[in-house]
Structure 1
Amino acid sequence: MPFFSSSHKRNPAITLELDDVRFGKLLKSLRATMETVAMARTDVCVAQVASSLTPMSQDWDRRSFRLAVLARFLSRSPVPPEWARMDPDNATALVLHAWSTLFRARATGNAEGVSKVRKDCLHAADLAPQDPTPWIVLLELGRLERHDPGDVFQVWNEVVLRDRWNREAYLSMTRYLTPDEGGSRLQVLEFVDSLRARVPANAPCVVTELTSQVLHYQSIQARGGVEGLMARNFWTDIHVSATLDRAAQHWPQPSFFSHAATLADLNTLAYALMAANRRRDAFPVFQAIGGVVTHWPWQFEGDPVTVFKHMQARAKSAK
Structure 2
Amino acid sequence: MAREGARPGYDPAGHDAALRATLQEVRTGRWMSMRRLLGETTAWWQWTQRTQVLAAAAAGTDVVRTWLAEEPYSVPGTVMRARVAVERALRAHREQHARTLDLWREAWQASHTATQAAPQDPVPWVCLLALARLDRERRWEEHRLAPPGPMLPPGPWGLLAEADKRDPYNREAHHRMLQFLYEHGTSGRLAEAVGYAHWAADTAPPGSALHVLPLYVRVERYRRSGGRDAALDLHWVAEDATREAQRARYAWFEQTFEAERSPLDLNHLAHALWGALQFPEAARVFDALGPYWTPLPWAYRSPEPGDRGQALEVFLQARARCRPA
Does the pair score TM above 0.5?
A: yes
The answer on 1:313 being equivalent to 2:320 is: yes
Residue of 150, 154, 160 corresponding to 1:156: 160
Provide the rounded CA distance (Å) in 2 between the counterparts of 1:173 and 1:62: 19
Aligned counterparts, 1:1-319, within 5 A: 11-31=7-27, 34=28, 42=29, 45-54=30-39, 57-89=41-73, 90=75, 91-110=78-97, 111=100, 112-146=102-136, 147=138, 148-150=143-145, 152-178=156-182, 180-183=183-186, 184-222=189-227, 228-249=229-250, 252-253=253-254, 256-257=256-257, 260-300=260-300, 301=302, 302-303=307-308, 304-317=311-324, 319=325
Shift of 1:87: 4.2
Shift of 1:185: 1.9
User: Do the aligned partners of 2:55 and 2:80 also contact (CA within 8 Å) in 1?
Assistant: no
Q: Which has the higher contact order (CA 8 A, sep 6+)?
A: 1
Shift of 1:279: 3.2
What is the SS of the residue equivalent to 1:131? coil
Write the deviation string for residues 266-293 of structure 1: whole angstroms up to 9, x where unpaired. 1111112233344343222211211211
What is the SS of the residue equivalent to 2:161? helix
User: Do the aligned partners of 2:198 and 2:213 also contact (CA within 8 Å) in 1?
Assistant: no
Greater alpha carbon shift after TM alignment, 167-176 vs 260-269: 260-269
> Are residues 23 and 306 of structure 1, via their aligned partners in 2, closer, same or farther at CA, if it must alter by over 3 Å?
same
Provide the rounded CA distance (Å) in 1 between the counterparts of 2:4 and 2:166: 33
> Are residues 62 and 138 of structure 1, via their aligned partners in 2, closer, same or farther at CA, if it must alter by over 3 Å?
same
What is the SS of the residue equivalent to 1:206? helix
What is the SS of the residue equivalent to 1:177? helix
Shift of 1:188: 1.5
> Are residues 97 and 238 of structure 1, via their aligned partners in 2, closer, same or farther at CA, if it must alter by over 3 Å?
same
Provide the rounded CA distance (Å) in 2 between the counterparts of 1:250 and 1:205: 9
Q: How many residues align?
A: 296
> Are residues 221 and 257 of structure 1, via their aligned partners in 2, closer, same or farther at CA, if it must alter by over 3 Å?
farther
Provide the rounded CA distance (Å) in 1 between the counterparts of 2:241 and 2:129: 27
Name structure 1 gaps, 5 residues minimum.
35-41
User: Do the aligned partners of 1:71 and 1:96 also contact (CA within 8 Å) in 2?
Assistant: yes
Provide the rounded CA distance (Å) in 2 between the counterparts of 1:71 and 1:109: 20
User: Do the aligned partners of 1:95 and 1:137 also contact (CA within 8 Å) in 2?
Assistant: yes
Write the deviation string for residues 212-233 of structure 1: whole angstroms up to 9, x where unpaired. 22222222234x7xxx543222
Provide the rounded CA distance (Å) in 2 between the counterparts of 1:189 and 1:164: 21
Provide the rounded CA distance (Å) in 2 between the counterparts of 1:119 and 1:9: 48
User: Do the aligned partners of 2:270 and 2:286 also contact (CA within 8 Å) in 1?
Assistant: yes
Write the deviation string for residues 180-221 of structure 1: whole angstroms up to 9, x where unpaired. 544442212321232233211211332212222222222223
What is the SS of the residue equivalent to 1:130? coil
Provide the rounded CA distance (Å) in 1 between the counterparts of 2:3 and 2:119: 37
User: Do the aligned partners of 2:15 and 2:259 also contact (CA within 8 Å) in 1?
Assistant: no
> Are residues 96 and 174 of structure 1, via their aligned partners in 2, closer, same or farther at CA, if it must alter by over 3 Å?
closer
Taking only aligned residues, the RMSD between alpha carbons, in angstroms, comes to: 2.8
Greater alpha carbon shift after TM alignment, 70-79 vs 100-109: 100-109
Shift of 1:26: 1.0
Shift of 1:173: 1.0
Provide the rounded CA distance (Å) in 2 between the counterparts of 1:114 and 1:214: 28
Give aligned-pair identity as a percent: 24
